[in-house]
Amino acid sequence: MSSRPPDRARRAAAVRAALVGTLPVFGAPASAADGYDLTTFFRSETAAQYGEYNGLEGDGQGVALNADLSTALAFGTERHLDLTLRNVGLDTYLARFGLREAGRFRIALSIEGQQQIERLDLSSPYVPSTLTLPAGWVAGADTTALTGLTRFANGNLTEETGRQIVRLEADWQASDRTGFGLDYRWEKFDGTQFRGVALYANAGSNVPAVHLPVPVNAIEQSLELSSYTRLLGTSVNLTGGWSRFNNSVSLLEWQNPWAIGLPGVDYPDGSGALSGAPDHERFFGSIAFAARPAPGLSVTFDADGSLTTMDDALAPWTPNDSLLTPLPLPLDRFDVDQGNLALRGRLRYRPTNGAMRRAAIRLSWRYQERDSDLPREAWVYPRGDATDQPDAALALFNTVHDTSLEKIVGGLDVRTPWRGMVTAEVHRLERNRDNAAVNTNVTEGIRGSYRFRPVASLALRFETLIETTDASTYDFRRSFYLRRTETFVEATPTEQQYDNHPFLRQYHLAPHEARAWRARATWTPTVDGRFQFQLGGRVDVRERKYEDSPFGLVSRDAQTYGIDASLAIGTDLNLSSWASVEFADVRSVGRSFGGGIEKAANQVTPPLPQASDPDRDWTSDFEDRLLALGVAVDWQPLPNWTLHGDYTLTLTNSGQRLDSGAGLDTGGNLPTVETDLHHLRVRAERALVADFRVGFAWEYYRFDQSDWRFTDVDLTTLDNVLLAGARNHDEVVNLLALSVSRRF
């Protein structure tokens, strides 16, 4: 692939119209000149999915303002004041004020609003503000007791999280060789999410859970200082910073809906508790160095590190005073430092003359690690906080483990005729872990590519990758038993460790092979001022085989095909279209162990008969399909008229076939889940007078989905999980907008 011809920006503008999903009348003004636009709009229906990110949720009418203003401080100077406004009037606003002098400094203060909404029409008896049950609540051991409950006013579980960001950025170029930067960011997360959470019951019994609306209220501040220096052919970048995350909902408590001391329910009347994201403080820094010690030789090195500390008071075993918990917490506070380090060095040498000047060699090395100083023995998890807990026999150690990664890559690039290049690369990656099922994974592979232009208008590129991963020290029992005492692990005969089946492996830790190849072609047959055409196509195939790991994920194949075309006729008409298709096929295999009660951790248990019974194997095949296509047209039929239209279609299809083994009591295949999205946009603009335009836009948005997870779920559907209702959220939205804009 080589640089695109200079007319690519024109094509990109046409393609952009089809790709970028912001409203044509919102977002950036479509002119390089200063100006502003004011838009009023109307949405026919509540737009949750459509308005998830763009600030157009809800229904009814609204107004939005965009503006770009820039002025020199004085005639003839290079200092400018800039003001940018985006979507003022919506929740997704941006206001930026800046002062700059080209080549010397720039300062900018920005205030931005973002939002994320996920509406699945779930509901809960709780509301975020109280998390208490409504009057007339019926108590019971599980949801079957709620059948007599009449419908109540549910707290809607729509997730809606807003972000407000205040950011101060400054750059100062002290000289041609030295510069400094400052970046301060204050970000607030505010809104509601929802999650399920277990109300712990005794081991062996069913675990009631409830979906809760969880208030979100957190602030993160960060400050980063940076500098760069160039001296004697070397460049050095330095950064250092600090951040702090404060979460006001670090512990969530709610009223136990089951309540209540009924037989079989070990959780007495009172509250439950859920841990939130912890407050933490982080210091980070980096150094990057680049030099050209000899002609054709380039060397870079960078190091990046951070230290995250937390000193948090923890919840008690249970906030419920009615429970008897004779074992005190090991510590009152969770005090831990967690460090991350990444090092990287790279070298590239390309002879500047002689026979080898068409070749270049590359070497790179990367090392990264994550260390936590939390001692493994410091925390013991008593499984359950019911009246017979904690029980030392059921204790587990915490599972935080350290990891490290080291990767070495060597490559050779050779330039070939037809503006081509052949690349060959070998790489080796080793990942190490402590206190985990797999201590070491080693991945070795080769990658090759060839690109060339047989004729000036045709660019071709091929690439292939083959790599194998070995789990050299796989030992499944570590995953389970390292959470207990090492003495016990060593004392237990292998054949008596009921879960030590040799085939039980976790896919990303298991030995596997990966193969991938991709091809890309771009054809630009005509390049002249009046007629331009470009056609591109891509194929991308990736296969992963986990055949050494019969259980869990055993294969994953993915294929992507794409084609796009753009046509520009004269200066008045642009047409573009594209299509992408993705196929993903995954196979998983498991063995049913027939359930049974959870075993006491420190109890020697004979192997379950199912552990070595292939007749109890099951296989599931998953097929994910994604099709997306778009067409767009930009047309200027008259000097004062511009028309734009685009349509995108996105279809997904996800199915599962299940092949049960003998004696398996599972049901059949799962229904296919489909989503359909149609999005049509039409815009017309007319320049009434010079620099003053009127625009009209219409958008049609339709989304349908058939996810069985949210179909016909009612108050009592889920037995022990209290979810008052759920259904798919489909929507059809029409949006009409009228805008006036001024450029000057």
Partner 1 sequence: MTRVVALALALLTASAAAADGESVCLNCHAADRWDPGHGAHRTDGALSHSTCTDCHGGLGRHLPDPRAAGPAVSFGPNHPASADVQTRACINCHDGGALLGWEHGAHAGEDLTCGACHSVHALPTASATASADAWTGGLGSIDSHDATCLGCHGELRAQLRAPSRHPILEGRTACTSCHDPHGGKGPTDLREATLNTQCLTCHPAQRGPWLFDHPPVSEDCSLCHAAHGSMHSPLLIRRSPQLCQDCHVAAFHPSEALGADGLAGASPNASMLGRDCMNCHSRVHGTNHPAGGRLTR
Element of type H or E holding 19: helix 8-19
For residue 75, what are its two tokens? 């005639």
The verdict on 196 binding partner 1 (CB under 8 A) reads yes
Of the candidates 10, 21, 8, 7, the residue with the CA atom closest to the CA atom of residue 630? 21
Query: Which one among 167, 370, 453, 484 touches partner 1, defined by CB under 8 A?
Result: 370
Q: How far is the CB of 643 from partner 1 (least distance, A)?
A: 15
Asked if 148 interacts with partner 1 (CB under 8 A), we say no
Applying CB under 8 A, does 560 fall inside the site for partner 1? yes
Task: Tell whether residue 186 is a contact of partner 1 (CB under 8 A).
Answer: no
Task: Name residue 573's beta-bridge partners.
Answer: 569, 635
Map the footprint of partner 1 across residues 378-397, applying CB under 8 A. 379, 381-385, 396
- Using alpha carbons, select from 513, 481, 512, 511 the residue that is nearest to residue 496: 481
Q: Tell me whether residue 133 or residue 521 sits nearer to partner 1 (CB atom).
A: 521
Using CA atoms, how far apart are residues 569 and 39, in angstroms rounded to an integer?
Answer: 31
Which of the residues 11 through 40 are near partner 1 (CB under 8 A)? 11-13, 15-16, 19-22, 27-34
Q: Does 315 bind partner 1 (CB under 8 A)?
A: yes
Establish if 149 lies at the interface with partner 1 (CB under 8 A): no
Q: Which stretch binds partner 1 (CB under 8 A): 10-18, 39-47, 254-262, 684-692?
A: 10-18
- At residue 288, φ and ψ (nearest 5 deg) are -130, 135
Selected binder of partner 1 within 162, 285, 410, 536 (CB under 8 A): 536
Site for partner 1 in 294-313 (CB under 8 A): 298, 300, 302, 304, 306, 308, 310, 312
The answer to whether the beta carbons of residues 572 and 638 sit under 8 Å apart is no
Q: Does 678 bind partner 1 (CB under 8 A)?
A: no
Number of residues that bind partner 1 (CB under 8 A): 207
Distance of alpha carbon 647 from alpha carbon 576, whole angstroms: 11
User: Rounded to the nearest whole angstrom, what is the least distance from the CB of residue 179 to partner 1 in the complex?
Assistant: 6
Whether 663 contacts 679, CB under 8 Å: no
* Phi, psi at 673, each rounded to 5°: -105, 130
> Counting contacts by CB under 8 A, is residue 280 touching partner 1?
yes
Give the CA distances from residue 677 to residues 121, 681, 700, 731, in Å, rounded to whole numbers and listed in that order.
18, 13, 10, 10
Residues 139 and 197 sit within 8 Å (Cβ to Cβ)? no
User: Does 61 interact with partner 1 (rule: CB under 8 A)?
Assistant: no
728, 710 in Cβ contact below 8 A? yes
Q: Which of positions 426-445 make contact with partner 1 (CB under 8 A)? A: 431, 433, 436
CA–CA separation, 706 vs 695, rounded Å?
37
Site for partner 1 in 100-119 (CB under 8 A): 100, 102-103, 106, 108, 114, 116, 118
**d(Cα 350, Cα 412) in Å, to the nearest integer?**
10
Residues 6+ apart with CB under 8 A from 265: 141, 201, 208, 258, 259
Distances (CA, A) of 612 to 67, 181, 213, 454: 69, 62, 44, 58
Give the separation between CA 143 and CA 719, rounded to whole angstroms: 5
Kindly provide the residue ranges of all beta strands, DSSP E only, lying in 593-667, ordered along the sequence.
617-638, 641-659
Among 121, 562, 647, 692, binds partner 1 (CB under 8 A): 562
Q: Per-residue x/- marks for partner 1, 449-478, CB under 8 A?
A: --x------------------------x--
198 binds partner 1 (CB under 8 A): yes
3-state DSSP assignment of residue 596 = coil
Of 44, 205, 286, 473, which one interacts with partner 1 (CB under 8 A)?
286
Tell me how far, at minimum, the Cβ of 39 lies from partner 1, in Å.
Answer: 15
- Residue 697 lies near partner 1 (rule: CB under 8 A): no
Least Cα distance to 679 among 101, 92, 22, 127 occurs for: 22
Q: Does residue 336 bind partner 1 (CB under 8 A)?
A: yes
Among 25, 43, 48, 54, binds partner 1 (CB under 8 A): 54
- φ, ψ for residue 263, nearest 5 deg: -55, 135
Selected from 372, 439, 642, 741, the binder of partner 1 by CB under 8 A is 372
CB of 379 vs partner 1, minimal distance in Å: 6
**Counting contacts by CB under 8 A, is residue 494 touching partner 1?**
no
DSSP 29-75: -SSSS-EEEEEEEEESS--SSTTTTTS--SSEEEEEEEEEEEEESST
182 token code pair: 């400052």
Backbone angles phi, psi at 500, to 5 degrees: -95, 45
Please, which residues bridge with residue 632 across strands?
576, 646
Select from 88, 95, 581, 600 the one that contacts partner 1 (CB under 8 A).
581
Which CB atom, from 136 or from 589, has the smaller least distance to partner 1?
Answer: 589
Binding of residue 164 to partner 1 (CB under 8 A): no
Q: According to the binding rule CB under 8 A, does residue 45 interact with partner 1?
A: no
Q: Which of 552, 635, 692, 698 binds partner 1 (CB under 8 A)?
A: 552
Locate 725 and state its tokens: 């209702």
Residues 700-719 that bind partner 1 (CB under 8 A): 703, 705, 708-714, 717-719
User: Which parts of 613-672 interact with partner 1 (CB under 8 A)?
Assistant: 618, 620, 622, 624, 626-628, 630, 648, 650, 652, 654, 656, 658, 660, 664-671
Quickly list DSSP for 528-552: SSSEEEEEEEEEEEEEEE-TT--SE
1 forms part of the interface with partner 1 (CB under 8 A): yes
Q: How far is the CB of 693 from partner 1 (least distance, A)?
A: 15
Q: Which of 109, 288, 359, 514 binds partner 1 (CB under 8 A)?
A: 288
C-alpha distance from residue 378 to each of 314, 365, 435 (Å): 14, 36, 14
Contact status: 285 vs partner 1 (CB under 8 A): no
Q: CA 121, CA 99: separation in Å to the nearest integer?
A: 46
Query: Least distance from C-beta 542 to partner 1, angstroms?
Result: 11
At closest approach, how far in Å is the CB of 329 from partner 1?
6
Q: Which amino acid is at 340?
A: N
Q: What track of x and - describes contact with partner 1 for positions 250 through 269 (by CB under 8 A)?
A: --------------------
Residue 152 CB, nearest distance to partner 1 (Å)?
18
91 binds partner 1 (CB under 8 A): no
What's CA 417's distance to the chain center, in Å?
Answer: 41
